[in-house]
Amino acid sequence: MPNTHEQRQQEWTQAIEADTEAVAPALRLDHGTSPQSADPGRPPWRTIVESMVFPLFFAVMFALCYVSAFHSPTPRGVEVVVVGPEAATTTLVDRLAPTVGDKFDLETATDAAGALDRLQNREIAGVIELGSSMNLHIASAEGTMRVQAVEGLAQPLAAAQGVELNVVDHAPLAADDPTGTGLFYLVMVCTIVGYLTITVLSQVAPRMRLRQQMGVLGVMSVVGVLAAYLVSALFVGFYGASFATNLAMLAVVIAYTIVVGLVSILANRVFGKAAIMVVMVLMIFVNFPSAGGAFPADFLPGFWSTLSHFWIGAGAVDAVRSIIYFGGTGVGHGLLVIGGWFVVAAALLGLTQLRRAKAADAPKHLTS
């Protein structure tokens, strides 16, 4: 009678070997020819050609996504409020409307305080206040390109009326980060930490349990985010914010990194070896152009601008920008986006766990 323990151990070893071949097919460069019989002077052209799919995919997706999003940054519906006497503001807006087209969404108001509240609440891009001198109220932290567009609208108006233009910045950028891209790059790096952690685990430990994957992901999210933050601080400082504010921002970025990892785990379970391409589409090629970090969302083409309302990277950038530069004003939208992705990813992962559990129980029922 065969030794049951030895038989099970042999079956387990064969299963591991099969999984190893599945996740690392490049180890068999000759596609079935044994290493001893392969011609050492003949390159494995079939394997080489097949492996070139990945860099070609990378080139096409970068060109398709990044160039399509950034090739022609133009303001689209940037909201600006003109404040002053009703007759003067109405006349000015009526005269400007045909000129600006759909680039700006111009409104009029007589209450300067109310308009400034809307600016500080991140509802509008600028306030042009008419008077003996023209005051332009902006928030640089929303993006330098947006500020330049609003200034480009106000400067000719001031010149035409023969008055001086005074620019008042209600949310200035940190002195060490004058372009405002520091936070965006931090989110970019942490995205890579999240998905690379799971990609590496899928290669070196393909049979690791979900609970163990989550543990590694949690540790790497904290360590990776802190490492990226501290290294970037050498160049951009701490964004001119307090310790508590930076701590709150880091908590959001860590949560974001964990959600990116969850999506990567889910992709690995659903798509197998093709998961790396799926995750890169979701988290690199779609995520970064729509994030509003390089260009404001209202300067992107319609497709990319629409994505910025619910895509995870845009939610993260919006949330950390709210925390650092606006005292938390408007942070709810970004947190809602990150939380929504977490709920969906966790629910779908739960379903895959149930399917695996049922698949594991099926042989037991057949043998009982």
Instruction: Delineate the domains of the chain, giving CATH numbers in brackets.
Output: 78-169 (3.40.50), 182-367 (no CATH)
Contact call for residues 70 and 57 (beta carbons, < 8 A): no
Phi and psi torsions of 134, nearest 5°: -95, 125
Question: In a 3-state reduction of DSSP, which class is residue 77?
Answer: coil
pLDDT at position 50: 82
pLDDT at position 363: 61
Alpha carbon distance 105, 21 (integer Å): 58
Task: Render each residue's pLDDT in the chain as its tens digit; 368 residues.
Answer: 445 445 544 544 454 444 444 333 333 334 444 444 456 667 788 888 888 988 899 899 999 999 999 998 999 999 999 999 999 999 999 998 888 989 999 999 999 999 999 999 999 999 999 988 899 999 999 999 999 999 999 999 999 888 999 999 999 999 999 988 999 999 999 999 999 999 999 999 988 999 999 999 999 999 999 999 999 999 999 999 999 999 999 999 999 999 999 999 999 999 988 899 999 999 999 999 999 998 999 999 999 999 999 999 999 999 999 999 999 999 999 999 999 999 999 999 999 888 877 766 666 555 55
Contact call for residues 136 and 164 (beta carbons, < 8 A): no
pLDDT at position 70: 92
pLDDT at position 25: 39
pLDDT at position 365: 53
Alpha carbon distance 35, 19 (integer Å): 20
pLDDT at position 40: 65
pLDDT at position 48: 87
- Tokens representing 321 are 């920008």
Largest Cα separation within the chain, whole Å, is 104
Residues 6+ apart with CB under 8 A from 300: 69, 70, 73, 76, 289, 290, 292, 308
Phi and psi torsions of 122, nearest 5°: 70, 30
Strands (E) across the chain are located at 78-83, 104-109, 126-129, 134-138, 165-169
pLDDT at position 54: 86
Cβ-in-10-Å burial (0-12, 13-18, 19+) of 96 comes to: middle
Phi and psi torsions of 166, nearest 5°: -105, 125
- Taken in order 121, 113, 172, 156, is the CA torsion positive or negative? positive
How much is the pTM?
Answer: 0.83
Nearest Cα to Cα of residue 132 among 87, 166, 86, 93: 166
